[in-house]
Amino acid sequence: MHRNLLPMAALCLACAASAQIPDTVFLEQLTWDEVRDSIAAGKTTVIVPTGGTEQNGPHMALGKHNVRIAANAELIARRLGNTLVAPVMAYVPEGGIDPPTGHMRFAGTISLPDPVFQQVLEYAARSLKQHGFRDIVFIGDSGPNQPGQNAVAATLNAEWAGSNVRVHAIAGYYRADPEGDAAEMMKRGIRKEEIGNHADVRDTSQLMAVDPKMVRTAKLQAGDGKNGIQGDPRRATPEIGRALIERTVVRTVDLIRKSMAAR
């Protein structure tokens, strides 16, 4: 090879190597040495998202929470910068098993007792600390996830006091501004009585925006006390979903930054 071509060949090899590293914030899409190098380069914040496998009415797939929080966590991580995202915890408290209560009354739901959920979350955080992450952020896409996240964060922060590692339980990720969300929906023509607490226009619109194939539009129906829906999702739209997601992401990024500044 001509000597003038050697630097160019080396450059091409370097480009090819770097091109193999995906543009991703998701821990599970990286190799171990890519994670190590990312931490060494300053990516020392990691988000631990908790979702849930639960009924969402006849019109939405069981994985609603998992899909939605993965999409939201990616947006949050990219806006924060220097942040990675751990795998979504898909099994969370959903109600009693025998006899079934809460969402466990509907086929397909998977529930963990709260102490088990907390232990899984705790050891995920311990694992991440061991690898060099300094700010471990819990965000939960379901109401029953919040007390456990808060409890684990409090326990670990007490244990790790004086170290350079902090756990941040961001309870404000989940429906922290219901009046603002309602105003956003009503601005787009939704009536107040259509807005409920589960599998309603809010939930359905967000899933339409993130992964529309998980919504069975032909099965949209109002809640009747038996079908697992609280509210009326029939006028849900991806536009409403995008607006609500943006509100959630902006609010959560701000809360994380404030929590990290106070560490």
Q: What is the CATH number of the domain that holds 213?
A: 3.40.50.10310
The reply to whether 49 falls in a domain is yes
The reply to whether 171 falls in a domain is yes
DSSP output for the chain:
--GGGHHHHHHHHHHHHHHTS-S--BGGGS-HHHHHHHHHTT--EEEEEE--B----TTB-TTHHHHHHHHHHHHHHHHHSSEEEPPPB--B----TTTT-GGGGSTT-BB--HHHHHHHHHHHHHHHHHHT-SEEEEEESSTTHHHHHHHHHHHHHHHTTTSS-EEEE-GGGTTS-HHHHHHHHHHTT--GGG--SBSSHHHHHHHHHH-GGGB-GGG-----SSSS-BS--TT--HHHHHHHHHHHHHHHHHHHHHHHHT-
By DSSP bridging, strand 45-50 and strand 135-140 are parallel
**pLDDT range class, residue 8, cuts 50, 70, 90:** low
The reply to whether 117 falls in a domain is yes
Per the structure, the complete domain to which residue 85 belongs is given by 23-261
List the one residue out of 186, 125, 124, 188 whose CA is nearest residue 157. Answer: 125
32-72 pLDDT per residue, tens: 999 999 999 999 999 999 999 999 999 999 999 999 999 99
Percent of the chain with pLDDT over 90: 92
In which region does residue 66 sit, left (phi positive, over 0), alpha (psi from -120 to 50) or beta (all else)?
A: alpha
Task: Compute the half-sphere exposure of residue 64: CA atoms within 13 Å on the CB side of its CA.
Answer: 26
103-152 pLDDT per residue, tens: 999 999 999 999 999 999 999 999 999 999 999 999 999 999 999 999 99
List the one residue out of 7, 35, 3, 6 whose CA is nearest residue 21. Answer: 35
The reply to whether 15 falls in a domain is no
Query: 12 pLDDT exceeds 70?
Result: no
State the average pLDDT for the chain.
Answer: 94
Q: Domain total for the chain?
A: 1
**pLDDT range class, residue 202, cuts 50, 70, 90:** very high
Report the predicted TM-score, pTM, of the whole model to 2 decimal places: 0.92
Percent of the chain with pLDDT over 70: 93
> What pLDDT is stored for residue 263 in this prediction?
75
> What pLDDT is stored for residue 19 in this prediction?
57
Contact between 242 and 71 under an 8 Å Cβ cutoff? The reply is no
The reply to whether 18 falls in a domain is no
The reply to whether 5 falls in a domain is no
